[in-house]
Structure 1
Amino acid sequence: MSEMPLQPGRRIVPLVIIMPVRDEQKYLRLTLESLAAQSWQPQEVIVVDDGSTDATPDIVREFAAAHPWIRLVKRDNRGFRQVGKGVVVTFDYGRTQIQNPDWRYITKLDGDMSFGPRYIEKVLGKLEADPKLAACSGKVFRPEGDGYVEEFMLDDMVAGQFKMYRREAFEAIGGFRQTILWDTLDWHMCRMKGWKTLSFHDPEARLIHHRIMGSSDKNVYKGRVRQGRGNWFAGYHPLYMLASGVFRMREQPYVIGGLILIGAYFHSLLRGDPQFDEGDFRQQLHAWQLSQLKSLPRRLLRGHVAGEQRD
């Protein structure tokens, strides 16, 4: 691979991207190629290898040799993939490896994504234009057949696969929580502290997710169980959970995926599993979710319905 020279007018921005990866050889090259082609180049890309046993580290080394702003950092192999908490633990380790202390934006990026050459420019442009905007992303699509299908998110939600944060907001919420459903807790905490969050439609800010959401650990069914339990942990209102589960029946795996979500949530409820307990988070979350349900008929007429972010 030959080194890609800095293109005329290419802007280097005070952005740090941290990529927690484990056994991502199938799609990682797509992600790194997308980064290498960006019109706005990040100061640092830290790829944290969380014990890969495939060619993941070799692929990162190949790109790092051509692009010095990409670095490989290795962690000890825990012996298994740990989604949720494990992703944030690996991300937080990457934060300790940041070399430039003057970063203004930080991003967590998955190793199974691809995106256009102006993705960073488009998303960072939104953050620079609005000082109250805490976090931002484009919308997520998955390949299906000969085209792409959008993975539904409300505009207030931010894609956990490529989530870009303003430093002040990230530090105000204390970073990501090392727990399941961290990528739901964070944007709600931003909203509760007076910040705004956004995902937006733009052909040049599309995120292509090359793996079905929630399927990185074993299979998608296990992912739906984990998601349902996570929704209970986060404090979802039962009515909102029912509406969300019914909506998810339209996604792969059709019908059964939504039923698994609902069943796992209420199983956790009946067992009295612990819930996220930080201030009045759950009370405020319930108020927001019930307000979303009240506006459901109007949104259904526009083709929208309540949803949630997932690991």
Structure 2
Amino acid sequence: MKFLIIIPAHNEEDNLPFTLDSLQQQSFEDFKVVIVNDGSTDQTSEVIRKYTDSDSRFETVNLEKSAHQPGSKVVSAFKNGLKTQNKDDFDIICKFDADIILNENYLSEIEKAFANNPKYGLVGGLLYVEKDEKWVYEGNSNKHHVRGPMKAYRKECFEAMGGLRETLGWDNIDAILLENLGWKEIVLPQLQVKLIKVKGADYTIKPADYYGRYFYFLGLNRFLTYVAAAKEAMKLKSPSFLFQIIGSYEKCKSQNLELKISKYEQEIINKQRWNMFKKKWFKI
């Protein structure tokens, strides 16, 4: 199987070498890497050039500077890289971040999982961050969800679900849609992916506003949004946080902001979330 790996990069001069070095050190070598330089103002382009000049598997795409918005910017950059390639030449399509470090057997284990399991549609490892000079499990989501920094899709699955959506919540939307189509999302816990920096640190959006917008662009109805908002507020023991999330969500609804998912896909997502709610709270 052959991999197409697309890496959006914005001002990643310090982190990108670790990611690209870890790819060059992979035991599995049949891959192409497209680094999308998304309007970087630092030395990212010079870093990329060192690899494209010495390794024919590495290519680059240069984009103009765009607004840094959670979700949409990174997927837009990914799509710009994807359209430079012929998908028919590849079996596995990956969206990787520019600040991760992969074990040398990462691609070989991913390839083996896809080859041995025809219904696997999305495969990845677990995300680890550095804390007190040790690499520990990030723990921001359940261990059965492949996080955004290291997505690997079977090409047929990727195409069946319509690719990635330029919206906040894209990395949850993909998992729900592919599962509805009969594909499986699989995490290989033995594959530890090191995340060099903390996600979201460079976003200007406030946490409550983030959650409100996230629930809106995920297509959740009011009931499920309010339940999810209450869950987040309970974590902080802050009633005001609940109302701030709801306010952000309702503002999006009043503005009728465009969703990147169809009505049918919204129904799929709400049904999945409702089933999760019933299973957790009513054991049905």
TM superposition score category, shorter chain reference: 0.7 to 0.9
Give, as a single letter, the amino acid of the residue that structure 2 aligns with 1:35.
L
Q: 1:217 aligns with which of 170, 195, 203?
A: 203
Q: Which runs of 5+ in 1 are unaligned?
A: 1-12, 250-254, 300-311
User: 1:156 Cα shift?
Assistant: 4.2
Query: Match for residue 54 of structure 2?
Result: 66
Q: 2:273 aligns with which of 289, 293, 304?
A: 289
The 5 A counterparts of 1:128-147 are 128-147=115-134
Q: 1:199 aligns with which of 148, 162, 187?
A: 187
User: 1:65 Cα shift?
Assistant: 2.3
Q: 1:51 aligns with which of 39, 43, 66?
A: 39
Q: 1:267 aligns with which of 240, 244, 247?
A: 247
Q: Helix, strand or coil: the match of 2:89? A: coil
Report the TM-score, using the length of structure 2 for normalisation: 0.85
Q: Helix, strand or coil: the match of 2:29? A: strand
Give, as a single letter, the amino acid of the residue that structure 2 aligns with 1:125.
K
Report if the CA contact (8 A) 2:91-2:155 is conserved.
yes
Query: Match for residue 179 of structure 1?
Result: 167
Q: 2: CA distance between counterparts of 1:262 and 1:138?
A: 32
User: 1:43 Cα shift?
Assistant: 2.5
Q: 1: CA distance between counterparts of 2:240 and 2:56?
A: 45
Report the TM-score, using the length of structure 1 for normalisation: 0.79
Change (3 A) 1:73 1:43: same
Query: Match for residue 10 of structure 1?
Result: none
Report if the CA contact (8 A) 2:215-2:225 is conserved.
no
Change (3 A) 1:260 1:81: farther
Query: Match for residue 38 of structure 1?
Result: 26
User: 1:96 Cα shift?
Assistant: 1.7
Report if the CA contact (8 A) 1:231-1:265 is conserved.
no
Q: 2: CA distance between counterparts of 1:209 and 1:283?
A: 34
User: 1:179 Cα shift?
Assistant: 1.6
User: 1:57 Cα shift?
Assistant: 0.8
Q: 2: CA distance between counterparts of 1:93 and 1:172?
A: 19
Change (3 A) 1:132 1:244: farther
Q: 1:28 aligns with which of 12, 16, 20?
A: 16
Query: Match for residue 210 of structure 2?
Result: 226
User: 1:99 Cα shift?
Assistant: 5.7
Query: Match for residue 161 of structure 1?
Result: 149
Instruction: Say if 2:264 is the partner of 1:280.
Output: yes
User: 1:112 Cα shift?
Assistant: 0.9
Q: 2: CA distance between counterparts of 1:259 and 1:40?
A: 50
Report if the CA contact (8 A) 2:211-2:229 is conserved.
no
Q: 1: CA distance between counterparts of 2:281 and 2:10?
A: 42
Query: Match for residue 75 of structure 2?
Result: 88
User: 1:97 Cα shift?
Assistant: 1.5
Query: Match for residue 85 of structure 2?
Result: 98
User: 1:263 Cα shift?
Assistant: 4.9
Q: 2: CA distance between counterparts of 1:86 and 1:264?
A: 25
Q: 1: CA distance between counterparts of 2:226 and 2:55?
A: 49
Q: 2: CA distance between counterparts of 1:81 and 1:123?
A: 30
Q: 2: CA distance between counterparts of 1:168 and 1:95?
A: 15
